[in-house]
Amino acid sequence: MTTITKAQAKKLQEVALFTAANRNRSMTNMLTDSAPQKAQGDKKGNKQSSPGAPIVTVNDLTKTAGDTVDMQIVHKLSKRPTMGDKRIAGNGESLDFTSFELSIDQGRHQVDAGGKMSQQRTGHNLMSTARTLLGTYFNDVKDQLATVHMAGARGDYIQDDIIVPLSNHPDFGDMLVNPIMPPTYDRHFFGGDATNFEQIDQADVFGMETVDNISLFIDEMAHPLQPIRFKDDKLAGDEPFFILNVTPRQWHDFKRTSTYKDWQQLMANAMKRRSSFDHQVFRGECVMHGNILVRQYKGMPIRFNPGSTVDVSKNDNKATVKQVEAGTTIDRAMLIGAQALADAWGKTKNGSQFSIHTEKTDAGNRDEVTIAWMNGLKKVRFADKTGRLNDHGVIALDTAVSTGY
C-alpha cells in the first residue's frame, strides 16, 4: 500500500491553474486609435479627418491638470459662391465649430492576495495571479462601459460575471463618469416594419433585410456616419467599412433566417476583405454584406425586457429625451463608424494613466494589490450647422429577438 504525503496531495490538486473563461477580449483595444489634432483636406483615398477608428483616444489631460476636456468639430463650408463681378466683401463664410465636454475620474480596484498561510497552502504565486486577474478585470470593465456609452442605454441583462450594474444601482452613475445619452432621433433605426421603439413586435427580428435597409439608410443620410478607415488598411480609401455589432440572439436570428447559400456568401465576403487587411475585427465568426461587417459583441448584450421603460430621443434639434415602453424582448445592435466614442485619459497619483500598487498590511502578514486608472468615456455627439444634435459615429439598431433555445 502506497502512502501519499501531504506535499504530494497538494501537488496532485494543483497541477494546473486556469482562469475563468471570458466572453470577449478587449473590444476597446481592438477599435482604438489616437484622436485627430487638425482638419485634413480631401486626399485620394481619404475623405475624412484622420484617424478613422471607432474609438479615439484623448491624452490632453495627461499633460495638463484638469478633469474635463473639450472636443471640437469644424463644419464643412456650405455657402454659395460669389459669381461674376458681384462684391465679395461682407459675404465671407465664418468657420463654424461645435464642441462637447468630456470628463474623467479615478477608478480603482483591489485584490487581497492573502496572508502567509494562504501562500503556504498553495503552490501558485498569489501575487502574480492577482496582478494577472486585475489586468483582465480592467479590460472587462472598459469593454462594458464602452458598450453602454455607445448603445446609449444599460438595458436589463445581468449575469454574475457582469461588472457594470443596472442603471438603478447607486454606483452606476459614478462608474460611467459621463452621462449616458440615448441615440439621437436621426441615429436610431429599427428592425422589420417598425418605425419607432414602441412599434417593435415579435416579428421585427434581425435579418438580411435589416442590413439592406440600414445600408440604404446610411446612403441617404444628410450627414452620414464616416466609415472606418484604420491607418494600416490599404483598401481604406476604396473600401472603407462599418462594423455592425449585434448581440448573440440577433446573430442567431440572422443565421436562422438566412439561406445556407446566402450565409456562405456573407462569410466569403468577410474572408475576402480580411485577405487584404488581417485586422482583429475580421477574426472569429463574422460576415460581410456590402460595406457592413457584422459580428457579435458578447460581453454584455443590451437587452430590454417586455414592459421595461426605455429612454429615447424626440424628433427635435436638442435631442430631448422621452420614455417609452418595450412591447417585447428587444436587443440593441450598434452600427459603428469612425470617431464614435471618445476615450480620455488623465494622470493617476504616480503621474501615469494607469498604475499598480502593492503593499503589506496586517502587520506585514498580508499582501494587497491595487490598480488605479484616470479615465472617462463618452459617445461623440455634435450639433450640425443648423443646431441639430446627432451622435457622430454610431447608430443604434433595435430589433426583437427570439427567446427560445
pTM over 0.95: no
* Low-confidence winner among 74-88, 180-194, 345-359 (lowest mean pLDDT): 74-88
Residues with Cβ within 8 Å of 271's Cβ and at least 6 positions away in sequence, in order, are: none
- Domain limits of the chain? 48-74+97-361+370-400
Most confident of 36-50, 69-83, 338-352: 338-352
Taking every pair of Cα atoms in the chain, the longest distance, rounded to a whole number of angstroms, is 111
Name the average pLDDT for the chain. Answer: 81
DSSP per-residue codes, 304-362: E-TT-EEEEE-SSTT--EEEEE-SS-EEEEEEE-TT-EEEEEE--TTSSSEEEEEEEET
- Average pLDDT for residues 198-213, to the nearest whole number? 95
Q: Which three cell numbers stand for residue 139?
A: 479590460
The model's pLDDT over 236-279, given as tens digits with 9 standing for 90+, comes to 888 889 999 999 999 999 999 999 999 999 999 999 999 888 88
Nearest to 175 by CA among 300, 281, 295: 300
Residues with Cβ within 8 Å of 48's Cβ and at least 6 positions away in sequence, in order, are: 40, 226, 227, 229, 338
Count CA atoms closer than 13 A to 94's CA, side-chain side: 5
- Average pLDDT for residues 277-286, to the nearest whole number? 88
The model's pLDDT over 157-181, given as tens digits with 9 standing for 90+, comes to 999 889 999 999 999 999 999 999 9
Angle at 292 between CA 288 and CA 297, to 5 degrees: 85
- Quick one: CA torsion of 370, 375, 379, 384, rounded to 10 degrees? 180
Distance from C-alpha of 9 to C-alpha of 139, rounded to nearest angstrom: 36
Q: Secondary structure of 252-272 in the HEC alphabet?
A: HHHHHHCCHHHHHHHHHHHHH
pLDDT of residue 76: 60
